[in-house]
Amino acid sequence: MEGEGWQISEVVALLGMGRRAIQRSCGQNLVSGDLGIVRVGASKPGRRSYDADELAQLHLVNVMNQDGMDLVSVRDAFLRAQDTGGIGALTVVFREA
């Protein structure tokens, strides 16, 4: 980890999540298929880094995706969770399922 967060290559290695899935999960460009599930803080152009909270959210995205949910369904679940108590509530509900 480089002082300010994890780089995408490190996130790929840590989570076993594909680079494109990470980009789609965090990107905001709907034209290119991004879903904006995880909001990533500001970083240097071309050097996006992920903090611990973003890494935890990406882990949850990955677990839900591996459990059979497509990324659009994961995004919808995140949006519902944000409206009804936050991502922490989603984590609890998902663990009970």
Name the residue among 49, 46, 28 with its Cα closest to residue 38: 28
* Percentage, residues of the chain above pLDDT 90: 57
Q: Which residues of 55-86 are buried (b: 16+ CB within 10 A; e: fewer)?
A: bebbbbbbbbbeeebebeebbebbeebeeeee
Name the CA dihedral angle for 62, 1, 42, 77, rounded to a multiple of 10 degrees. 10
pTM for this structure? 0.82
Residue 95: predicted pLDDT: 54
Residue 2: predicted pLDDT: 45
Residue 20: predicted pLDDT: 94
> Is the model's pLDDT at 15 over the cut of 50?
yes
